[in-house]
Structure formats: C-alpha cells, structure tokens
Chain A
C-alpha cells in the first residue's frame, strides 16, 4: 500500500514534468547600482582570494512586475552577501573568481520616516550595511554559480549568477513555475566617486526567466516512457 502510494505520487509529479523551451523569453525584474567590498578579507589578500567574502550594496531605482513598487514613497535598496570565494583562475589579465552560494535581498524603506541609504567609508561600518537592510525585505533570492571576472590591467570587470526567488514579502507574486532567472553587473574600480574602502562600483540587472512550461499527458503514455 505504501509502495503503491509512493509510486502514484511519483508518477503524478512526473505528469507535470517540466519542459524548458528552446529559446526562453526573459523579462527585466530589477536594476541596481552601488558598490562592493570584501568582508571578511584576510589581511594582505587580494580581491577574490579564496576565503574572502563578497558584499555588494546599493539602491534599486527600477523594479518591474511581478514586483510591486512605489519609488516616490519608498527607497529600495539591495544587499548581496553570503558569498565566499572558493578560489580563482587567471586568464591573461583576468582573475576569474568563483563563489559559494549567497543571497541578494531587496529592501523597501519608506522615504518619510525611514533611513536614507548611506555608504559611509571603510565598510562594514555603522551605516553600511544597516541603512541598506532596514525596512521590509520584499524579495530574497539565492545566488548560485556566482562568478566574478575582473581585468586587473584596467580595473574593469563583471559578474553573473543564477538568481532564484526564495523569500521576501512579495515572493508570493511569483508563480511557482517562474522563480528562476539570472543577474549580471559591470564593475569598475576607475570611478572617482567610489567611497573609501569600497572596491568597485557595480551596476547590474536581474532578469526573470519565462514560466517553466508543463504539458499534459496520460498515465498510459507516461508509463510507456518507463517501459
């Protein structure tokens, strides 16, 4: 009885088998801009050395459906953290750094009565990250396959990651079959407005993949696939 129930459940799950389409349309979910730094950072280490943590924070000036926002009344900020370098490979002038999974969280904070985001200097400090993490966490996403490529000859670079919605007060806006996307950002160490103690200026976007489609089938066809 128990075995049959398990089989039935398994087959039921398989009936709703996910079928990714070949060329999936994606949609812009949010746009962010800010600065990054390493924490923890081993004394004397270079950016991306194994064991160093990566933190990015800043503002989110544009948010798109299914996120609901009001940028007139609220300030939206983001924090990327929890990422730890697992080491790097060198490709010419590039250092290509891989990281453990982390998170990207978007916070909503009322402009009236809230705290304006302030980078300060030499983060972490009294205002950063705290002025970026106050308010309501409206979206929490896991970052996996986070990879940062930086050209040490000219200070420019970029990063990318898979972004998967895992929480936040607006996570319910995302259909269960549309919670995966990706993010990328450019980075530069050449901007003169980088506050002291920060490594790079970053400017990125996150995209949401289109819903993962399911297809109806019959028990007979499904069973035939396993014979």
Chain B
C-alpha cells in the first residue's frame, strides 16, 4: 500500500511544471469591441432579455498583442487588426433574483471568431449595424490570420449595477487561419482560446453607440496546459535525497 502511494506520488511529480516563465499577458487585447443583433431583431430584445434564437455578432479593434503573437504590432500606422464574431445563437435568458435584485444569464451556441490584418486603418463602429461599414470594414484585408469556433459563450447582465456592467466570456477552438500554427504551445494541436472581459450596456455618449447592445473591454488568452518535462525515476529520486 505504501509503495503504491509512493509510486503515485512519484508519477505525479514527474509531471511537474517545467519552470518556464508563465506568460501572464493576454494573447490579444481589444479596445473596444461592440456586440450587436442584426435585423430582424426578436421582439423584447434587451440587455436583460436575449430571446432564444436571437443572433448576436461582434466587431472589434485589436490594440495589443502578447505571446505567442507578440511579433504583431497593433499600433503601426500601416496596419490594422480587427476581428468579427459571427452568428452566436442565444439559448434564451435565465433570470436569477433576490428580492428586487436580478441577474440575467444568457448562454449562446455556435459562433465564429475571425482575426484580420488590413493595410488600411479604416474600421468604423458605424451606428445601427449592419450597414455599409459594419462589419465590412472589420472583415477586409488579408486572408484571416485566425479562425475559430466558439464552444460556448455566456453573457451576464443585471439590474443592480450603477453603470450597467456585466461580463461576456466564451471558449474558442481554433480551426484555421494563417497563424494557427503559432497557437500550439509546443504541442501538436492549437490550444483553446479564452475570450473574456467586462461588458457594459451603458448608453452614455462615447460609451454606447446606437444600434449596439454591449461594449466589451476584454482580451483573448491562449489556454495551453501547463508545460511538463520528461524525467527519469533516478533524476527524480535525487531531488529528494
């Protein structure tokens, strides 16, 4: 029994983190992104109610890249990095309440994330999308750098925040794009992406834009498993002698 426990412990230790510097910065950060619901919008659509079947899309401007995409510079005058999220489908809003305090949780299915590089800094959050500029000025440029599919996304809103703030978070499985090979984290397959950040449905000028539901301040992290290094029983034992 004791030997079994020892073996188990040793086996776990073999998978110790490799001691690599942890990349704590986001792979990409945007500032800002806006979510909208293209026409025809379902009856009763609001931040507190996104009826089942409602289609949500998003456009955003990348402001910063981190590892492993830190060779890209989002601040060059000659390049623009934008993304488009297509066709997230609402599964309906669930309301949780405690007296007059209410929280609204909406899960989405489907949806694609596509990252573009464009030689022209021409993207415009034109009001009341979709229109002649949205999403077209966010989807022009070169062949997509990254393409991914959402495996789930959740929008949380409420009626108890002073400035109307909540969050939007989802997970992405990468499927293509010219840079997909950069996302493997040393493995064979691309690591999943975590799309996360705060959202506000505040409509004050310069915060909200007519026709968009949410302003999203967020980022995308690469969710690579913690690295492990191969070792031998002998080397491991010497660590404890």
Contacts and interface: CB of A to CB of B under 8 A. Distances in A.
A119 B23 CA distance: 11
A21 B208 CA distance: 17
Contacts of B196: 156, 186, 188, 190-191, 201, 203
Interface string B164-204: 01111100000000000000000000000010111110001
A31 B31 contact: yes
A193 B221 contact: yes
Interface residues of A, number: 48
A187 interface: yes
A118 to B, nearest CB: 9
B70 interface: no
Interface string A173-201: 00000000010111110111111000001
Given A156-B167, A186-B197, A188-B169, A91 B206 contact: no
Interface string B56-68: 0000000110000
Given A24-B205, A61-B64, A156 B156 contact: yes
A92 B97 contact: yes
A186 B217 contact: yes
Contacts of A188: 167, 169, 194, 196
B232 interface: no
Contacts of A24: 204-205
Interface size range on B against A:
35 or more
Contact of B96 (A92, A145, A160, A184): A92
B205 A91 contact: no
A224 interface: no
A193 B64 contact: no
A157 B158 CA distance: 11
Nearest to A194: B24
Interface stretch (A1-9, A44-52, A134-142, A147-155): A147-155
B152 to A, nearest CB: 10
A201 B24 CA distance: 9
Given A90-B98, A191-B223, A186 B199 contact: yes
A119 B161 CA distance: 30
Contacts of A204: 198, 217
A131 interface: no
Given A26-B207, A91-B103, A149-B158, A193 B23 contact: yes
Given A92-B103, A156-B196, A23 B204 contact: yes
Nearest to B96: A92
Contact of A192 (B217, B219, B225): B225
A24 B223 CA distance: 39
A93 B31 CA distance: 29
Given A91-B103, A92-B98, A151-B156, A158 B31 contact: no
A19 interface: no
A27 B206 contact: yes
A91 B98 contact: yes
A201 B25 CA distance: 10
Nearest to A118: B24
B29 A61 contact: yes
A156 B218 CA distance: 12
Nearest to B217: A205
B61 to A, nearest CB: 12
Contact of A96 (B25, B105, B160): B160
Contacts of B239: none
Nearest to A162: B162
Interface in A17-36: 23-28, 31, 33, 35
Given A25-B204, A119-B24, A156 B169 contact: yes
23 contacts: A25-B204, A33-B26, A61-B64, A62-B63, A91-B96, A91-B98, A91-B158, A94-B156, A96-B160, A149-B160, A149-B166, A157-B167, A160-B165, A182-B163, A186-B198, A186-B199, A187-B167, A191-B221, A192-B223, A193-B23, A195-B24, A201-B221, A203-B196
Interface of A: 23-28, 31, 33, 35, 59, 61-62, 89-94, 96, 119, 145, 147, 149, 151, 154, 156-160, 162, 182, 184-188, 190-195, 201, 203-205, 207
Listed from nearest, the 9 A-B pairs whose CB atoms lie closest are: A92-B96, A186-B198, A25-B205, A186-B197, A184-B165, A91-B98, A188-B196, A186-B167, A158-B198
